[in-house]
Amino acid sequence: MDERYLREKGYYHSPISLLIIIIISVFLAEALIMFILSFLHDITFHTYALLDATLLIITLSPILYFYGFRPLLIHIQERRRAEETTKIAYTELRQVFNIAADGIRLIDKESNIIRVNETFVRLSGFTKEELEGRKCYEVFPGLQCHTKRCSLRRVMSGEDYIEFEAERTRKDGVKIPCIVTAKPFRNPEGEIIGIVEDFKDITRIKMAEDGLKQSEEKLNAIISSISDYIFMLDKEFNITWANDILRQFFDCEIIGKKCYELFYTRYEPCDNQPCFVA
């Protein structure tokens, strides 16, 4: 609970206003007590002083409680609730941070790694102790380090979102293909104090792409070795692929041409469109 909240609820008073309230309260209470005690003539000085002190305490206690101690107690209670809420939120955020599928690291303006999640630890091959406090370009480096393409340099130059594909080097020297994403890391006041880097491991995607490419190359090699003329058409009768035998026969670029123009010198599709008859 902050001062504004206490003020809105009527619990908060500034030190000066509280001092004024106490002075006025003491003055009025003491005046009232002296007025009451003025009717008692047959009492000793010690009794008079004791009664004065007792009545003053009784009179001022509610005022001190409502204007001094009660706001303090409320503030302490609300502070404890806020600390518990913050602790729970921090615990939840830390769990989400650590179980994220992508590797994440926080870097300050001086290129120091502030924090990493568990996925980044596994991805980079370093321990958390080896990572935190080190320079970002010393662990899990890439070709962008020490260049104008550096994520930290680009964010500090004004870019708000960065995404690119790059290879990063693990501790054991293995190259890891990643999609790297970087955004500004801001403090509660909104000032940029570093960057947040996200690393998505795309090793399996690259392996699948390489496997598909190899399969296509094998298939092309098999089809190209066939002595018959083989070609592929789209729905508009455009030749989209042809084997080497057919290409060599025409001795010109045939990809993109209409089949009826190439084979029959026609200006419109053949009757009944035999190429598309199953």
Tokens (6 digits) for 148 = 């104008």
Report all structural domains of the chain as residue ranges with CATH numbers, in order of start.
3-98 (no CATH), 101-201 (3.30.450.20), 206-276 (no CATH)
CA distance 75 to 78: 5
What is the overall mean pLDDT for the chain?
A: 83
Backbone dihedral angles phi then psi of residue 14, each to the nearest 5 degrees: -65, 160
Place of tokens 């080097």: 169
Q: Is the pLDDT of residue 277 over 60?
A: no
CA distance 12 to 22: 14
Q: Is the pLDDT of residue 7 over 60?
A: no
- Of 110, 58, 86, 75, nearest in space to 1 by CA: 75
Contact in structure between 140 and 123 (CB atoms under 8 Å)? yes
pLDDT band at 1 (very low <50, low <70, confident <90, very high): very low
CA distance 51 to 34: 10
pLDDT recorded at residue 145: 92
pLDDT band at 275 (very low <50, low <70, confident <90, very high): low
Tokens (6 digits) for 15 = 């030190």
pLDDT recorded at residue 6: 47
Q: What percent of the chain has pLDDT over 70?
A: 91
pTM: 0.56
pLDDT recorded at residue 239: 86
pLDDT band at 87 (very low <50, low <70, confident <90, very high): confident
**276 vs 258, higher pLDDT:** 258
CA distance 17 to 23: 10
158-206: pLDDT as tens digits: 999 999 999 999 999 999 999 999 999 999 889 999 999 999 999 999 8
39-80: pLDDT as tens digits: 777 778 888 788 888 888 888 788 777 777 777 777 788 888
